[in-house]
Structure 1
Amino acid sequence: MKTYLSSILFIVAISANAQQQQEVYKLDSCLQFGANPFDDIYVRVQQTAKWKTKKPSLESHIEKFFDQYTQKKAGGKITISILIDKTGKPCTYEARPNSNVRPDFQQLRIWMNQYDWEPAIQNGQPVRSIKILQVNFEGKKVSVVELD
């Protein structure tokens, strides 16, 4: 009986753990940057990639996209990963939602790739890098944190 009960508890624990795994949406292979878009990526750089456009600001650009998806009780966050080429072209390749906000992630990819970025700089040269944005939802308020 103990063996039977232990087996059931083990299966329940595994399924509970599996349900807590974050969803990951692979949005783009970023093949417009070549056959191996993630080769030669700099993780630590002297100057990180920056949002190039003044109007709209990065936060207002993201807020405008999520405006149709947020509700009064929206909560949580979505982490967006963007590959930025040395020319400043972005490619949104991954989104990790931990939120009750469920946008169309393919539309998010298109929306985030509308504007160019200033590329990251290493040793005075533009380099390919990754930018991670955390979009936080608190009710109808949307805030953006750039993670380095």
Structure 2
Amino acid sequence: MKSVLSLILFFSVLSAAAQQQQEVYKLDSCVQFGANAFDDVVVRVQQPAKWKTKKPSLDSHIEKFFDVYTQKRAGGKITISLLINSDGKPCTYEVRPNSNVRPDMAKLKAWMDLYEWQPAINNGQPVRSYKILQISFEGKKITITELD
């Protein structure tokens, strides 16, 4: 009897862990930057990469994309990970949705790769770096936070 209960407990723990897994969409291997795109990424930089375009701003660019997807009761977060090349070209390589907003991931990648960024600077030179954006949905309000 103990072995049966142990077996039931084991499977219930496995199913609970499986339900907590977060969806991750790997959108691009960033092959346009070479086969080893992530090998020469500088993590600690003197000046982080910045959105280069004044119109639209980064916030309005993202808000325009998600206007189509937000509903009255939208909620949650989406985390977008970008690789910014030393020439300012971006590559969206990962999206982690944790919300009831489910965009078309290929369209989101194309949208995020539309504009160039000012590359990160380290030792006076432009370098390849990461940029992580967290988009929070509260009703029709969208908040964009750049994480370090």
* Letter in structure 2 aligned against 1:143: T
The aligned runs of 1:47-86 (5 Å cut-off) are: 47-86=47-86
* Letter in structure 1 aligned against 2:107: Q
Regions of 4+ moved over 4 Å: none
What is the CA–CA distance in structure 2 between the aligned matches of 1:77 and 1:26, rounded to whole Å?
17
* Letter in structure 2 aligned against 1:116: E
* Letter in structure 1 aligned against 2:112: M
Counterpart of 1:100?
100
Post-superposition offset of 1:142? 0.7
Q: Deviations over 1:44-95 (max 9, x none)?
A: 1010000000111101100000000000110000000000000000000000
Counterpart of 1:114?
114
What is the CA–CA distance in structure 1 between the aligned matches of 2:122 and 2:33, rounded to whole Å?
19
Q: Which runs of 5+ in 2 are unaligned?
A: none
Q: What is the SS of the residue equivalent to 1:14?
A: helix
- Give the percent of matched residue pairs that are identical in Structure 1 and Structure 2: 74
Q: Does 1:4 align with 2:4?
A: yes
What is the CA–CA distance in structure 1 between the aligned matches of 2:13 and 2:60, rounded to whole Å?
42
**Aligned-residue CA RMSD (Å):** 0.6
Counterpart of 1:138?
138
